[in-house]
């Protein structure tokens, strides 16, 4: 779910090209969930190989990373570790939502309503351990580094950004902002033309950048107060938030009383959650540190062999896409040589 502070923040349009030569710490689970949700067949089901294994995530990683590398972007994927115990309620809520969506999918499919079936199928998306292993293997073949976080992947991604090891964090969720990421880019792994559900209408999804300090200044609050604001609205660690408090009311309360303990109207509800532990998760997260992020050469033949021989991808399409990557890198290299002459 993540924290719902979208309408409070300054979100500036940008482009993928503006991140050429930049290291981007990508929330891996968030990106892969998007691929699993979006890349499906007409009936709403995942793409699979001849053994029935899901390949939608591999399709997304293949084409999106070819695009990144062609532009000169340096992605590093950060995978979630063990979630904090406080996240149990949110995890259970998501499982229930997926069960309900599965029932609705079956009903829509039986009724011949493929549009609704596809919509509900997207809501059933779940991550399997094999998908994580598949994804890491393909990233290794690309020479793209990946980091296994001890806890929340966004916390480690934000840490990489704060310590200067990554230039930006990429995620759809806003939790990275609460974790203190200096810069967050949204719509990074899913930018492009998208069809709106249940409508014959397409929209262009453009990347947008959120600057942490710029937003704190605009809101007139501190990073600690931003975390309290998030708790009021609801986070993955207290998903229900506080009754009748939305983003605007939460900001108003923060400005008037400064912190949760000083808000008289929420004290009864405040006693029902471990707000200090939630604060600590965001302000002092358990992160994985790395000394250096290393990028390796892409193993073109390895990618072709894995995707075509093991996962039944079209050899022609994979080779064509990799050739496009080779040409782009060759052109970039030639341009740099000309620039330094």
Where do we find the tokens 């939630």?
Answer: 278
Residue pair 97/123 in contact by the 8 Å Cβ criterion: yes
Instruction: State residue 339's pLDDT score.
Output: 45
Determine phi and psi for 241, rounding to 5 degrees.
60, -150
Size (the chain), residues? 341
Pick from 299, 321, 323: which is nearest to 137 by CA? 299
Q: Which residue has the tokens 């970039």?
A: 332
pLDDT value at residue 104: 66
**Residue ranges for the chain with pLDDT beneath 50:** 336, 338-341
Q: What gap in Å lies between CA 133 and CA 154, rounded to an integer?
A: 19
Determine the pLDDT at residue 44. 79
Q: How far is CA 245 from the centre of its chain?
A: 26
The number of angstroms, rounded, from the C-alpha of 46 to the middle of its chain's C-alpha atoms is 19
Q: Which pLDDT value is given to residue 122?
A: 64
CB 181 within 8 A of CB 153: no
pLDDT per residue as tens digits for the range 248-268: 999 999 999 999 999 999 999
Residue 214 sits at φ, ψ, to 5 deg, of: -60, -40
Phi/psi of residue 142, nearest 5 degrees:
-75, -15
> Angle, nearest 10°, between helix axes 129-142 and 28-38?
110
Distance CA 143, CA 329 (A): 14
Q: Is the distance from CB of 168 to CB of 25 less than 8 angstroms? A: yes
**Res 255: pLDDT:** 97
Could you give phi then psi for residue 58, rounded to 5 degrees? -70, -35
Extract the tokens encoding 195.
């069809």
pTM: 0.88
- State the Cα–Cα distance between residues 310 and 138, nearest whole angstrom: 12
Q: Is 271 helix (H, G, I), strand (E, B) or coil?
A: coil
Which H helix or E strand runs over 131?
helix 129-142
Closest C-alpha among 70, 68, 167, 139 to residue 303? 139
Q: Please state, in angstroms and rounded to a whole number, the distance separating the CA atoms of residues 278 and 241.
A: 12
The predicted-structure confidence for 39-50, as pLDDT tens digits, reads as follows 988 877 889 999
Q: Decide: 171 and 155 in contact? Cβ < 8 Å.
A: no
Domains in the chain and their CATH numbers? 1-219 (3.40.50.1010), 220-285 (1.10.150.20)
The two three-digit tokens of residue 263, written as one number: 């808000």
pLDDT of residue 340: 45
HSE of 245, CA atoms in CB hemisphere, 13 A: 24
């Amino acid at each position: 779910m993540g924290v719902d502070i979208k309408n409070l923040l300054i979100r500036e349009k940008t482009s993928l090209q503006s991140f050429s030569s930049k290291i981007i710490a990508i929330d891996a689970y968030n990106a892969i969930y998007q691929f699993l949700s979006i890349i499906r067949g007409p009936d709403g089901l995942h793409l699979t190989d001849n053994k029935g294994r899901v390949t939608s995530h591999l399709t997304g990683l293949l084409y999106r990373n070819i695009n990144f590398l062609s532009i000169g972007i340096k992605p590093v994927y950060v995978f979630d570790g063990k979630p904090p115990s406080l996240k149990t309620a949110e995890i259970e809520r998501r499982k229930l939502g997926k069960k309900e969506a599965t029932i609705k999918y079956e009903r829509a499919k039986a009724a011949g309503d493929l549009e609704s079936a596809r919509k509900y199928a997207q809501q059933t998306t779940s991550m399997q351990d094999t998908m994580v292993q598949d994804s890491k293997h393909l990233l290794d073949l690309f020479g793209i580094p990946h980091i296994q976080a001890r806890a929340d992947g966004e916390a480690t991604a934000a840490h990489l950004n704060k310590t200067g090891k990554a230039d930006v964090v990429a995620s759809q969720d806003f939790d990275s902002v609460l974790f203190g990421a200096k810069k967050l880019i949204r719509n990074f792994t899913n930018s492009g033309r998208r069809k709106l559900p249940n409508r014959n209408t397409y929209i262009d999804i453009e990347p947008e950048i959120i600057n942490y300090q710029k937003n704190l200044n605009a809101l007139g609050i501190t990073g600690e107060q931003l975390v309290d604001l998030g708790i009021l609205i609801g986070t993955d660690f207290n998903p229900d938030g506080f009754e009748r408090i939305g983003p605007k009311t939460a900001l108003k309360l923060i400005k008037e009383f400064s912190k949760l303990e000083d808000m008289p109207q929420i004290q009864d509800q405040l006693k029902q959650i471990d707000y200090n532990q939630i604060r600590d998760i965001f302000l002092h997260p358990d992160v994985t540190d790395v000394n250096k992020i290393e990028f390796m050469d892409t193993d073109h033949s390895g990618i072709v062999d894995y995707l075509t021989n093991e996962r039944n991808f079209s050899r022609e399409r994979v080779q064509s896409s990799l050739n496009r990557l080779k040409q782009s890198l060759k052109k970039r290299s030639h341009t740099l040589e000309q620039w330094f002459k």
